[in-house]
Amino acid sequence: MELSNMETSNLNELISAALKSRYADKFIGEEQQYDFTVYTLDKSVIIDALSFLKTDPEIACSFLTTLCGIHMPEQEGAEFGMMYQLQNMQKNVRIRVKIWMSKDNLHVPTATGLWPSANWMERQEYDFFGFKFDGHPDLKRILNMDEMNYFPMRKEYPLEDGSRDDKNDKMFGR
């Protein structure tokens, strides 16, 4: 099952070339983060790209390992990000695809049409960050209670209730 590094890098080159030619200026960047190649794409092509990566017979990254949201409030105009991690189990290649979006428009097309496993993963990211997954069959909170009126994983929400004054976390908090 173990494959040489050469085959892995070959597939990564193939993916990179295919995505570049397919999406031209919608292909924003590519970087190496430890053992993962990370491709950043424009939000408008994400589902097309995921579906291409999944179904292309050569690339065949058909397993959705995980997806998660990222909040970086200091990045003006691209405060929120989504990362998708795909895997080609036969060739043992893992890649990460990222999109960034402004805080005013948190609509992301859903990946549930490609993988049923995306259903709860997307619900979780809606629950914690407030991403609106367009076309999701059942977009509601999953781990938090339904009555909650904020998205707790956003950086502006403190870990603890802000009204408490009996705890001073100046030395220990972030």
99 and 39 Cβ atoms separated by less than 8 Å: no
User: Is 150 one of the binding residues for other proteins (CB under 8 A)?
Assistant: no
User: Residue 25 or residue 166: which is nearer to other proteins going by CB?
Assistant: 166
CB of 152 to other proteins, least distance (A): 6
DSSP bridge partners of 81: 70, 100
User: Is 84 one of the binding residues for other proteins (CB under 8 A)?
Assistant: no
- Determine which residue in the list 22, 36, 47, 52 makes contact with other proteins, applying CB under 8 A: 36
Residue 152 CB coordination number (10 Å): 14
Length of the chain: 174
User: Is 136 one of the binding residues for other proteins (CB under 8 A)?
Assistant: no
Helix (H), strand (E) counts: the chain:
3, 7
Give CA separation, 163 vs 91, 128, 158, 167, 173, in Å: 53, 21, 11, 10, 16
User: Residue 24 or residue 164: which is nearer to other proteins going by CB?
Assistant: 164
The binding site for other proteins (CB under 8 A) comprises 1-2, 33-34, 36, 38, 62-66, 68, 70-71, 83, 85, 89, 92, 94, 96, 115-117, 119-121, 124, 128, 141-145, 152-153, 159, 173-174
